[in-house]
């Protein structure tokens, strides 16, 4: 009986250690993502960073005077507290410009450079601006997202324009 109890105790101890040090990976594949992504306790896949950067770029850069306020609220709900003020000011300036100039913007990403260790993504693409149906400008822009991974959520730390090259 004593040897059975010691055996069961050691088995329980081994299972407890395995559970404690076991790394769980959650595979996420919603229908609108183009590739498989995963999340672990302290890190995320490069594909998840890329997909989220494209999602947030869509919210920020695909905009019209009518949709800007709604999209701003969604973006700010997904922003860390230390990045909230600067990002809100940036979005409000853009929203004001869209309304003043009656401009609609569209962004088509061409490439993404992902750094999963620093949680950054650089997106390069074409930013088109329209007044009505007429395209008034086009530029090749490079943007950078800096993310923070907190409590299972990927949040925006910062978003900035790195370079812009006006095209004809």
| Res 119: pLDDT | 95
Determine the Cα–Cα distance for residues 110 and 56; give it in Å rounded to an integer: 15
- Residue 10 belongs to some domain of the structure: no
Reference 59, options 151, 143, 118; nearest CA is 143
- Residue 9 belongs to some domain of the structure: no
CATH code: domain of residue 162? 3.10.450.230
Does this model's pTM top 0.85? no
- Residue 3 belongs to some domain of the structure: no
Quick check: 123 and 42 in contact, CB under 8 A?
no
Encode the chain (168 residues) as per-residue pLDDT tens digits: 999 999 999 999 888 888 777 776 666 555 566 777 777 778 888 998 999 999 999 999 999 999 999 999 999 999 999 999 999 999 999 999 999 999 999 999 999 999 999 999 999 999 999 998 899 999 999 999 999 998 788 999 999 999 999 886
- Residue 149 belongs to some domain of the structure: yes
How many domains does the structure of the chain reveal?
Answer: 1
- Residue 15 belongs to some domain of the structure: no
- Residue 122 belongs to some domain of the structure: yes
| Res 132: pLDDT | 86
Determine the Cα–Cα distance for residues 146 and 159; give it in Å rounded to an integer: 7
User: Where in the sequence is the domain holding 85, given as residue range(s)?
Assistant: 45-167
- Residue 159 belongs to some domain of the structure: yes
- Residue 108 belongs to some domain of the structure: yes
Determine the Cα–Cα distance for residues 154 and 40; give it in Å rounded to an integer: 12
Determine the Cα–Cα distance for residues 9 and 4; give it in Å rounded to an integer: 9
| Res 43: pLDDT | 86
What's the token pair of residue 132? Answer: 């009505």
């Amino acid at each position: 009986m004593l040897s059975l109890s010691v055996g069961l105790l050691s088995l329980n101890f081994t299972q407890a250690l395995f559970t404690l040090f076991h790394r769980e990976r959650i595979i996420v594949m919603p229908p609108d993502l183009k590739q498989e992504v995963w999340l672990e306790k302290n890190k995320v896949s490069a594909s998840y960073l890329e997909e989220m950067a494209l999602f947030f770029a869509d919210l920020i850069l695909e905009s019209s005077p009518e949709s800007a306020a709604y999209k701003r609220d969604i973006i700010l709900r997904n922003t860390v507290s230390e990045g909230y003020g600067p990002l809100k000011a940036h979005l409000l300036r853009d929203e004001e410009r869209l309304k003043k100039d009656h401009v609609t913007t569209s962004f088509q990403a061409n490439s993404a450079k992902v750094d999963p260790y620093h949680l950054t993504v650089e997106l390069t693409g074409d930013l088109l601006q329209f007044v009505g149906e007429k395209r008034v400008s086009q530029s090749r822009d490079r943007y950078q997202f800096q993310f923070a991974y907190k409590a299972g959520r990927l949040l925006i730390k910062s978003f900035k324009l790195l370079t812009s090259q006006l095209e004809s």
